[in-house]
Structure 1
Amino acid sequence: AGGGGMNPARLPAALVPRAEPLRLSLQAAADRMQDSLIGGAYSAIAREAGDGAAALFLPDGRLLAQARSLPLLLGSLIPAVAAVLARFPAVSMREGDGYLLNDPFAGGTHLPDLTLIRPVFLGGELIGFAAASLHHQDVGGITPGSIPPHATSIFQEGLRIPPMPSHRNGLLDPQLEALLAANSRTPDLLLGDLSSQWSATSLGSRELQQLALREGAHFPALCDALIAQADILTRQALLAAPDGTGRWEDALDSDGVGADPVPIRVTVEKRGDRLRIDFTGSSPQTRGPVNAAPAAVLSAALYFMRSLAPDAPNNAGCLAALDLVLPEASVVNPHWPAAVNARTGTVKLACNAIIGAWSAIAPETAAAANAGVAAVIAFAGTGPDGRSFALTEVVASGAGGHAGGDGTGGISTDVSNARNTPVEIVEARTPIRIEGYGLAAGSGGAGRHRGGDGLRRIYCLTGGSGTVSYRGERHRQAARGAAGGAPGALSLAWIERADGRIETLGAKAQFEWRAGDRLHVETAGAGGWGQPEGRQATATSEGD
């Protein structure tokens, strides 16, 4: 992965003062796209949780600017744009065109994430692309919400869309619209969210045109300079760190079908101004749906590379110094037709593994493992009034303790930056009452600096009946501590039936429930840092 461009020092002296204002303007444009995308969405997973991402690209597919939003989707936009360009030459594109995809084997991640890409023109010349990805409530498959925890094939997960034209002259193709609606249990939400994606790319298109007009003929050179600047700053950060090799191993609880753990292994090798991240030794691709397509794993690598030089421009230059190795037919690079809907836990543990391996090279950055959980729960069914309901939410966990202090509890970490869905939204859109919500007190690992606590939620179905798909992690494999700190507590989930019976759930589960049944979820705590006896009595784990 990488980006090219000219050295900023080669810019004519008169242009150098214009580079930084352009960088800020591009970042602001991408952030405004993100605000438009989430603000205009219909489904709760998008509008409330913020499960979407927006970015701007150059005509050759290089990332120019991305919103400060959800790293899990931001990194995956890069392969999506590349997949569109590979199938549709730029010379065939016209103003008002749009392209849609979700195929994990052609630039996508998992099927609920639809990516819309719009070419941007100025004076008849292609000057870039505006792209927006959004998690949709339902795109078909064997379970409502399109995240079947026991899927064994991509064909069970929903409608698979290879890169294809979606819009012409600014209008959604009516035949594609009919196809999408026919394959979703919530067609109104799908089409509404897709319209929000088009609006976001329209805004991005206008802003990119305005910036190109403002900079005139110097616009391409300034964009190249910003990408080169990100490359240089990232390499400088690498040069400041010692050469070395670090390794880390973690494991998913299971693949959702079998009972065996799924190992994630990474070797990080730093030499001079280059970094190699190698997942050789990780599990072969699994029968269950925890496989992660390369576009998804790239998100973890991009997150880490951005962390090396956070002040660098947020573009393709951050990846130029990276060699990313994803073994074929592995859990981080599966072959078709692998199931992939539960890839979030895999990518989160992969990101944790990269950070852990890097700490062996740069010990001053060491921290205990984040909890590594973003539990995804899809609710669907029929309420007491006979009306159907559907809602998907993400439940966060905790951040690892570190040398500077306690980890924060109840927060999305690393590649996941989704918001917790407000209680009021859940109760307004479904016949579900939230009977408990707060930190899972004491779940963070003990240490001089405690790990952040996970979250607890109690859901009661007040009427009707329905189906729940639960996709969690860390039910068996705890987040480890560092520097003598203790591991975090495990995740827990169980059903309390209306008659008092208790049914314990594993990390991947699907079940039916009826009025009076309760779902209890407690996400894992993060690891603690340092020997617990060195802890100050006044410290807390909540991060307040």
Structure 2
Amino acid sequence: MNQANYDPITLEIIQNALQATSDEMFAALRKTAMSAIIYEVLDAGTGVTDAHGELASSGAGIPAFVGVIDKTVKAILREHPHESIRPGDVYATNDPWYGGVTHLNDMVIALPVFAGETLIAWTAVIAHWTDVGGMAPGSVSPAAREIWQEGLRLPAVKLFEHGVPIDSVLRIMKANSRMPDYLEGDLWASIAAVRVGERRLQELAAKYGTDTVLEAIRQYLDYGEQITLQALAALPHGRWSIAEEQDDGRVFKATVEIGPDHFTIDLTDNPDQDEGPNNSSVDGSTIVGQMVLKNVTAPQGVCNGGSFRPLRVLTREGSIFHATEGAAMGIYYEQEIRIYDVIMRCLAESMPERLPAGHFASICGTYLSGRHPDTGRDVLIVEPEIGGWGARHGADGINALYSAFHGDTFNCPAEICEARHGLLVDAIALNDEGGGHGAWRGGKGLKIDYRIRYEHGTVTCGYTRSKFPPWGLAGGGEGTPNYIEVLRRDGTRERYAYADAVPLVAGDVVRVVTGNGGGYGNPAERPRERVLADLRDGYISPREARDIYGLR
């Protein structure tokens, strides 16, 4: 059928239905998941690809997760001959070199969607599973030196054959987890979600015809490219470079080149891969580039595989942003958010009226484990933390929001932490440390006190921006660092940014402190009435009002 014969209104209805399908999959996952990291924090993502693995629609959840889905489907298609893929099959991967992209906790479940005998699409879900084995509770340890220490690898394996579970694979997965009931619950929630997506896509094909659905997807991808190209044409064009020292002494470098039809990010001149778990896969670095591209072009516009056709991300194999197979990957997220922040800083300093100052820019992953004092069950809280965002021209930074990597996700409520995980949450308050001063002030991070009730427990964490705080812009001041403190019941204190299974006992307090964002503009230019309001609301101290803002 000729393209001109397709009704454009029908095609748009189908395209909107693709987006609704991804969102419905996310709702199904959230309502049925076992782990609070999924149903409360929403540490997950959903999407639909075309038959070849190009992202057709992106659902709710973490942007860096949604970016995994197309890469997963393409890996499955590489590993499994087309003739072996049948209706009712379900695939699983968590391996960074087989479409898993991130680390082993992030499990992707993908399902091929057929209309009759024709493979028309894939539905997929990615979610953080609490424990998949390895050397440490939660499967993440700063001490890991190879991926085999981090848990069970599933290299794009078939989980269901023609609608029937492959029992041996399911048993292996459960046997390798410290929390098999949570693993099984999250698995079936993921399967329910991809099946919801399958049903909706088959309904579309039955209603409008397979050819029409395939044409709608094809045109939707082309439309995504058109939106990006229109935005690129309106951006400043040129080439910019940056080098930034990190907390551990390494220097991360990036060069960005923007033209009317291309957006290139060069990460080749970066350190060799880490001996520990601080690495990113090449696909993960590509997702960083995709997020930057959307941020500076059309953040509110359509997001699909076509959106990223003008993007090119260059890496060097064997570097921290293109680790070779076997490298530990548990804390991949800190490296990716670090280079994301470096690239955004490079562009913000070149386009200060378009982009904000630096935010706390860390996942601040916090892992608390022990035995629930009321139920006797082994429990593990996996908690990314929220912090302060940078100010921008014309507006103060946002208080207590997840990092730019997290998208529209939430912190775990105190009630869930206490009931499900056996902790006491003594306090949650805005970070009262100074910093982030400017004509527009940086947003505030948080201070959270978790009081331990376990007879014996541990805390593991991996925070960056603990030495070099968020950067100010256009004369604004730096923000404040991220860190945790362990307040011992005997009155002593210990401070950490990276910690591996630090022992805890009942009565100890783990204090999480997330940074305040950077400021924008000269603090002397902040209007007097705003300074007075900041002083009244406790955002600044009398000394800061006097010495930094000149209030007399």
Which TM-score bucket, shorter chain as reference? Answer: over 0.9
Find the residue that maps to 1:178 and give its secondary structure. Answer: helix
Per the alignment, residue 468 of structure 1 pairs with: 459
Find the residue that maps to 1:377 and give its secondary structure. Answer: strand
Per the alignment, residue 221 of structure 1 pairs with: 215
Find the residue that maps to 1:409 and give its secondary structure. Answer: coil
Q: Which residue, out of 35, 55, 64, partners 1:43?
A: 35
Find the residue that maps to 2:217 and give its secondary structure. Answer: helix
Contact 2:278 2:331 in 1 (8 A): yes
Q: Could you list the per-position Cα deviations for residues 116-160 of structure 1 after superposition, in whole angstroms to 9, with x for gaps in the alignment? A: 110001112111100101100001111101111221211211111
Per the alignment, residue 496 of structure 2 pairs with: 505
Q: Does 1:195 align with 2:184?
A: no
Moved more, 217-226 or 380-389: 380-389
Q: Which residue, out of 111, 115, 121, partners 1:118?
A: 111
Alpha-carbon distance between aligned partners in 1 of 2:135 and 2:68, rounded to the nearest angstrom:
25
Per the alignment, residue 543 of structure 2 pairs with: none
Contact 1:381 1:465 in 2 (8 A): yes
Shift of 1:538: 4.3
Moved more, 308-317 or 470-479: 308-317
Q: Which runs of 5+ in 1 are unaligned?
A: 1-9, 255-260
Find the residue that maps to 2:223 and give its secondary structure. Answer: helix
Alpha-carbon distance between aligned partners in 1 of 2:436 and 2:349, rounded to the nearest angstrom:
21
Q: Which residue, out of 342, 356, 360, partners 1:367?
A: 356
Q: Could you list the per-position Cα deviations for residues 84-129 of structure 1 after superposition, in whole angstroms to 9, with x for gaps in the alignment? A: 0101122211111011111112221100001111000111211110
Find the residue that maps to 1:76 and give its secondary structure. Answer: helix
Shift of 1:251: 4.4
Q: Which residue, out of 357, 364, 367, partners 1:378?
A: 367
Shift of 1:298: 2.5
Q: Does 1:262 align with 2:246?
A: no
Per the alignment, residue 75 of structure 1 pairs with: 67
Per the alignment, residue 416 of structure 1 pairs with: 406
Q: Does 1:353 align with 2:342?
A: yes
Shift of 1:509: 3.9
Aligned positions of 1:351-500 closer than 5 A: 351-360=340-349, 362-384=351-373, 386-417=376-407, 418-500=409-491
Alpha-carbon distance between aligned partners in 1 of 2:200 and 2:244, rounded to the nearest angstrom:
43
Per the alignment, residue 235 of structure 1 pairs with: 229
TM-score, normalised by the number of residues in structure 2: 0.92
Alpha-carbon distance between aligned partners in 2 of 1:327 and 1:247, rounded to the nearest angstrom:
17
Alpha-carbon distance between aligned partners in 2 of 1:302 and 1:210, rounded to the nearest angstrom:
31
Contact 1:73 1:296 in 2 (8 A): no
Q: Which residue, out of 283, 294, 298, partners 1:306?
A: 294
Find the residue that maps to 2:366 and give its secondary structure. Answer: strand
Contact 1:71 1:300 in 2 (8 A): no
Change (3 A) 1:79 1:262: farther
TM-score, normalised by the number of residues in structure 1: 0.93
Alpha-carbon distance between aligned partners in 1 of 2:258 and 2:24, rounded to the nearest angstrom:
36
Q: Which runs of 5+ in 2 are unaligned?
A: 540-552
Contact 2:6 2:212 in 1 (8 A): no
Contact 1:493 1:505 in 2 (8 A): yes
Find the residue that maps to 2:327 and give its secondary structure. Answer: coil
Per the alignment, residue 7 of structure 1 pairs with: none
Q: Note the aligned Cα RMSD (angstroms).
A: 2.0
Find the residue that maps to 1:397 and give its secondary structure. Answer: coil
Per the alignment, residue 62 of structure 1 pairs with: 54
The one-letter code matched in structure 2 to 1:84 is I
Contact 1:253 1:507 in 2 (8 A): no
How much identity, in percent, do the aligned residues show?
30
Q: Does 1:530 align with 2:521?
A: yes
Alpha-carbon distance between aligned partners in 2 of 1:245 and 1:360, rounded to the nearest angstrom:
13
Q: Does 1:284 align with 2:276?
A: no
Moved more, 82-91 or 462-471: 462-471
Q: Which residue, out of 61, 73, 76, partners 1:84?
A: 76
Per the alignment, residue 129 of structure 1 pairs with: 122
Alpha-carbon distance between aligned partners in 1 of 2:68 and 2:179, rounded to the nearest angstrom:
25
The one-letter code matched in structure 1 to 2:403 is T
Alpha-carbon distance between aligned partners in 2 of 1:348 and 1:23, rounded to the nearest angstrom:
31
Per the alignment, residue 198 of structure 2 pairs with: 205
Shift of 1:381: 1.4
Moved more, 244-253 or 181-190: 244-253
Shift of 1:243: 1.6
Alpha-carbon distance between aligned partners in 2 of 1:354 and 1:11, rounded to the nearest angstrom:
40
Shift of 1:463: 3.8
Moved more, 19-28 or 176-185: 19-28
Find the residue that maps to 2:61 and give its secondary structure. Answer: coil
Q: Could you list the per-position Cα deviations for residues 435-478 of structure 1 after superposition, in whole angstroms to 9, with x for gaps in the alignment? A: 11121134551111111111111111124211221122211121
Contact 2:290 2:311 in 1 (8 A): no
Higher relative contact order (CA 8 A, sep 6+): 1
Find the residue that maps to 1:402 and give its secondary structure. Answer: coil
Alpha-carbon distance between aligned partners in 2 of 1:289 and 1:36, rounded to the nearest angstrom:
32
The one-letter code matched in structure 2 to 1:456 is K
Per the alignment, residue 282 of structure 2 pairs with: 294
Alpha-carbon distance between aligned partners in 2 of 1:465 and 1:251, rounded to the nearest angstrom:
37
Alpha-carbon distance between aligned partners in 1 of 2:242 and 2:7, rounded to the nearest angstrom:
45
Moved more, 528-537 or 295-304: 295-304
Moved more, 400-409 or 19-28: 19-28
Alpha-carbon distance between aligned partners in 2 of 1:537 and 1:425, rounded to the nearest angstrom:
42
Per the alignment, residue 327 of structure 1 pairs with: 316
